[in-house]
Amino acid sequence: MTIKIETPALGAFLFGILSCKCPISEENEQRLFTKYQQSRGTTEVDFSPFLEISKQNIQRTPIDNLFDFCSYAADDPASFNITGNDVLRYLGSGYHYKMVLAANPDIETTNPGLLFSHILTPVRLSLQGNKPCVLYEDPQCTIQFNSVIIPDELLHTDGFYGHHMGVIISRLTDEQAKMVFDHQALIDGLSAVKKSIKEIDFKKIRPYGNHFDSVVKRFNRNSQHFETTSL
């Protein structure tokens, strides 16, 4: 099996794992990041060792799900490359939205903020008064995210970022942001979900409570790999 993944795409996906309550042990999480650290500075890396780490987890992990998502679209499921756009589509399209709905059938009405946070969205860094914040904006609505973690290697003032569950996981080109917006325009129910939200604070999000502190602890466990900023 010859599966490659773009190294920045791998980093974005692993940051996404840290942002979520994914069923992965602390030991396997650290093994994933140690392996990722060895690949930094390269353009692509073999994905198979990350799959092997995932297979040692008691429960299925997002690494396995990403492999399935990309292999289904490949002519040869044993030989393909995973790109940054693949990761964005996995986390930001109706595929991921439906995964969240399947696990929480009434979440669209009972906890729209959590649902919207669970899919990757294009955001910008902005100022509300003198306070920096993270904003999602489209013609229908504006949603402000508070208590958001940004890995310092991604920090930049202009352009789009990919946001997932209180973490900026990647920078986005304008073309990538458009791609995500276009995919999300196809999601039934998402428009109503967005219109019901004004602000989401990850220090007090149901049912997790202070999700921000929990994610900070996960980043700190891997602090040998990166530094972070929070807004």
Specify the pLDDT at position 129: 66
83: three-class secondary structure by DSSP: coil
Sole residue written with tokens 């940051």: 15
* Dihedral of the alpha carbons of 176, 74, 79, 88, in degrees to the nearest 10: 20
Using 50 as the pLDDT threshold, list the residues of the chain that sit under it: none
Q: Per this entry, what is the length of the chain?
A: 231
Specify the pLDDT at position 224: 55
**pTM of the entire predicted model:** 0.93
* Residue 166: alpha-carbon gap to chain centroid: 9
Separation of alpha carbons 160 and 123, rounded Å: 6
Tens-place pLDDT, residues 126-152: 867 667 789 999 998 999 999 999 988
Phi, psi at 213, each rounded to 5°: -65, -40
| Maximal C-alpha separation, the chain | 53
Specify the pLDDT at position 151: 85
143: three-class secondary structure by DSSP: strand
